[in-house]
Amino acid sequence: MKTAMMAAAKGPLPRWPICFAGISGALAVFLAAGAAHDLKHWLGAEDLERIHTAVRYQIWHALALLATAALSTAKPSPWLHIAALGFALGSVLFCSGLYLTAFTGQAIFGWLAPFGGLAFIAGWLAIAVHGWRSVQT
C-alpha cells in the first residue's frame, strides 16, 4: 500500500489543491469584504485584526497552493504533495482558529493557529526540498 501511495505521489497533483485554492481564495475575499464593511459594526478592533491576519494568510497560501499545483505539472514529486497538504491544512487550522476566535469570542479556538502555522512551515520546507532535489536530479 505504501508503494502505491508513493507512486501516486510522484505524478502531478490531483484536482483538489486547485479546487481548495479557489474556494479558499473566494472565502478570504468574502471575509475581507465583510470585515471592511459589515463586521466592523459588530466586532472590536482586536477581532477585526484577527480576521485581517487570517485573510492575509489564507489568500497567500491559496496562491501558494496554485503555484504548487503548477510546479507539479512541470516536475512532479512527493514533496509537492506534502507542500499542498501543508498549505491546505495550515489554511484550515490557522485561519479557522483566528476566525472562530474572532466570531465567537472564545479564546479556546486560538490553539488551532499554532498547529496551522506549523503546517504552513512544513509546506514551505517541502517546497524548498523539492527545489533542492529537482536541481540535483
DSSP 16-82: HHHHHHHHHHHHHHHHHHHHHTTGGGTS-HHHHHHHHHHHHHHHHHHHHHHHHHHHHHHS--HHHHH
Identify the pLDDT of residue 26. Answer: 95
pTM across the whole model: 0.86
pLDDT exceeds 70 at position 90: yes
The pLDDT value given to residue 1: 43
CB atoms under 10 Å from CB of 89, counted, come to: 17
pLDDT, the chain, mean: 88
Confidence class for position 4, pLDDT limits 50, 70, 90:
very low
Comparison of pLDDT for 137 and 128, the residue scoring more: 128
What's the rounded mean pLDDT across residues 100-112?
A: 92
